[in-house]
Copies of this chain bind each other. A is one copy, B any other.
Amino acid sequence: MKTVGILGGGQLGRMMIEAAHRIGVKCIVLDAPNCPAKQVDGGSSHIDGSFKDADDVKRLADLCDVVTTEIEHVNTDALEEIATRVDVQPTADTLRCIQDKYLQKQRLSARNVALPAFLDAPNSDTILEAAKQFGYPLVLKSRTLAYDGRGNYVVHSESEIPEAMMALGKRPLYVEKFVPFKMEIAVMVVKTLDGKHYAYPTVETVQKNNVCQLVYAPARISPSLQEKAQTLAKEAVEAFTGAGIYGVEMFVLEDGTILLNEIAPRPHNSGHYTIEACATSQFEAHLRAVVGLPFNEGNTQMATSSTHALMVNLLGTEDPEYVNRIAQRSLTIPGATLHLYGKDKSTKGRKMGHITIIADSLGDCEARYAQLLAGEKEGAEKASVEANVKKPLIGIIMGSDSDLPVMKTAAEILESFDIPYELTIVSAHRTPTRMYNYARSAASRGIRVIIAGAGGAAHLPGMVAALTPLPVVGVPVKGSTLDGVDSLHSIVQMPRGVPVATVAINNSTNAALLAAKILGTSRPDLLKKLQAYMDKMESEVLVKAEKIESLGWREY
């Protein structure tokens, strides 16, 4: 097995080494003594020094078969030099190109990767020139040494330019057109030694002051948009040489356009969720890629079909006890895993650790996250969380409020099983647009089953079924004529290809039970409750049977 030298021993190196132990890869870290990575390894050959120092880098190379990195701001000249003796993954060329954001974008642009428009802008004249082309606001960016948003400045008018240049210091600058994105997303891409690319799921990153606060896995966008992002991310990584994992950050615009933001040639904050949520973590993926161990599509998948994750960065605040308090509280939250990085001092904005919350849905993750922050005033992430309500899993809809007396029993049954639902009126004939929108959006809003009740020419259940991949349960509601047989036939006799799960006339109890049974196929807890419900029905009848037998039918 090859020995891997790692430039940098922060939290990324630390988590890389944890993976290395499990798969039997020996690692040697170059960084300061007692850095987070060295704390978790008993190997004595680590090097105390700096990944920016050429001699230190060469000393590391002498001990290793492969040299890789957990940070992009390394000495690339030294890397180039040692590449004649050891494997360097990813390559010095890749790191050098990515260190300079302008060069990075030029390379991506040359390969037609979709990007916000950008221009070199070394001085105020060129910035003004760019402003003419892009308009305001525009984003003034530092080409080098920019990470976690340090090095970005949104300029709203010409008068702000001097201030922006001052803030960015003496670093070389370029300008990007401001992109009014609706969401920031990211994809981790693994490039193997033989040049294959594998994409992890598309995740959503919630940033504040350009620092990642939360990661939703998967992103709350449609599956087809998620796939589009994975494809774009893989295309972007193809522009660079060298094996390893790459973090690819992107913007999603209102119209569904996806633009590349930037790339990190290493494990990335937006990929921490993979430790608990995916078959193989980004850290193990990186190691496997750089030493040439097997890796395939299966390694990038979510651990199970119902795995959802919310990753919370544990950032220092002005309250020195904040991190400790949240870390302790995380131990009481179901499905939360705490990762502390072994850093001594919690200063404002410092990444002290992270917490990954796993649950069956992102709604459940959010509810647990709200528990985590309960009572906190601080915690920038707090604001971004939606209300601590359980997201509905079942949608109950009916054609008219006159159906409510029949349909409300479904709601009562769902409440008795503690299943969150929503209930509303959607008429196929009187509100066709509303029906269309309801049915089309239901799956992406997290609804898992729709219960639709209708009477007469009862089109609602079938029309909704035609518009959603979700299972639809139909309740024929009895009208004033024909005894409900009209509704029953209208609901049940659907053409091939579009099923409606039809229950008995007026029997919304059974519709709700059926919906519960459907959820029960993936929830053993619910299956157990359903069995208990059946047992209760049975014993109720048995009590009556005993009574009728002991009293005699005349007395009964």
Contact = CB atoms under 8 A, between A and B. Distances in A.
Interface string A118-161: 00000000000000000000000000000000000000000000
A323 to B, nearest CB: 10
Q: Give how many copies assemble into the complex.
A: 2
Contact of A521 (B40, B42, B299, B471): B471
Contact of A358 (B303, B500, B522): B303
A501 B503 contact: yes
Contacts of A359: 304
A499 B503 contact: yes
A279 B503 contact: no
Contacts of A97: none
A331 interface: yes
A358 B304 contact: yes
Interface stretch (A83-91, A165-173, A238-246, A334-342): A334-342
Contacts of A473: 501
Interface in A22-41: 22-24, 34, 38-41
Interface in A480-501: 488, 492-501
Contacts of A14: 21
Interface string A309-336: 0000000000000000001100111111
Nearest to A519: B521
Contacts of A471: 514, 517-518, 520-521
A305 B522 contact: yes
Given A298-B335, A304-B307, A21 B22 contact: no
A200 interface: no
Given A494-B504, A530-B469, A22 B306 contact: no
A324 to B, nearest CB: 9
Interface string A335-351: 11111101000000000
A525 interface: yes
A422 interface: no
A403 interface: no
A510 B223 CA distance: 24
A473 B92 CA distance: 60
A448 B294 CA distance: 34
Contacts of A340: 21-24
A502 B501 CA distance: 5
A509 B494 CA distance: 11
A295 interface: yes
B521 A360 contact: no
Given A18-B21, A40-B41, A223-B527, 10 more contacts: A39-B43, A42-B42, A223-B528, A294-B328, A303-B335, A304-B358, A304-B359, A470-B521, A501-B502, A521-B521
The 3 closest A-B pairs by CB, nearest first: A298-B334, A522-B522, A501-B501
15 contacts: A18-B18, A23-B338, A223-B531, A294-B328, A305-B360, A466-B534, A471-B514, A488-B492, A492-B502, A494-B507, A495-B504, A497-B509, A499-B507, A522-B522, A522-B523
